[in-house]
């Protein structure tokens, strides 16, 4: 069955490019969610006027990848901490967040975060927010499939 998940973890261009390579992901869409403004635009999101995060809506086949495995991929694609060694921008639109649609997703997310925090994998505590999914506003067309359109080569260190 095809399901949807919504994540925010920094610049949506790099996050989308990475999710496109995950087996079981069938479609991606970048956009904005988690804020207070209807129909936000990129300029206002970047100016921190909307409260929205740059996010990615992932459609996936749950017969090929579980929600937990999708979350593990999400955490591997960005640093979900505020460690001093993490040099990425911490503007609110780049926050780390999981937008859940059910109690089951919420429980899986909390358990995975607890496990990762106890694993020692990260230097600092994970600060990823777990929020109820709300309206997802697709970003402007020029943001969709940005890396493909601009022939950006995806590397391990690829951000925005």
List active site positions. Answer: 11
Pick the closest to residue 9 from 72, 52, 56 (CA basis).
56
Helix (H) or strand (E) segment spanning residue 24: none
Tokens 């949506």 sit on residue: 12
E runs forming strands in the chain:
2-9, 25-33, 53-61, 96-100, 129-132, 137-138
With 0-12 CB in 10 A as exposed, 13-18 as middle and 19+ as buried, what is 93?
buried
Sign of CA dihedral 53, 122, 106, 58: positive
* Rg from Cα positions in the chain: 15
Tokens representing residue 45 in the block: 């999101």
């Amino acid at each position: 069955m095809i399901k949807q998940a919504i994540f925010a973890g920094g610049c949506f261009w790099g996050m989308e490019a990475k999710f496109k390579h995950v087996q079981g992901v069938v479609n991606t869409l970048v956009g904005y969610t988690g804020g207070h403004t209807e129909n936000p635009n990129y300029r206002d999101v970047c100016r921190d006027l909307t409260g929205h995060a740059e996010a990615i809506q992932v459609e996936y086949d749950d017969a090929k990848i579980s929600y937990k495995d999708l979350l593990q991929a999400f955490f591997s694609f960005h640093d979900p901490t505020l460690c001093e060694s993490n040099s990425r921008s911490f503007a609110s639109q780049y926050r780390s967040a999981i937008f859940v649609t059910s109690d089951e997703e919420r429980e899986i997310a909390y358990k995975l975060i607890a496990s990762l925090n106890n694993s020692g994998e990260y230097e600092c505590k994970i600060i990823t927010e777990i929020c109820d999914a709300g309206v997802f506003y697709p970003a402007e067309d020029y943001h969709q499939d940005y890396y493909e359109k601009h022939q950006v080569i995806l590397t391990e260190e690829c951000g925005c």
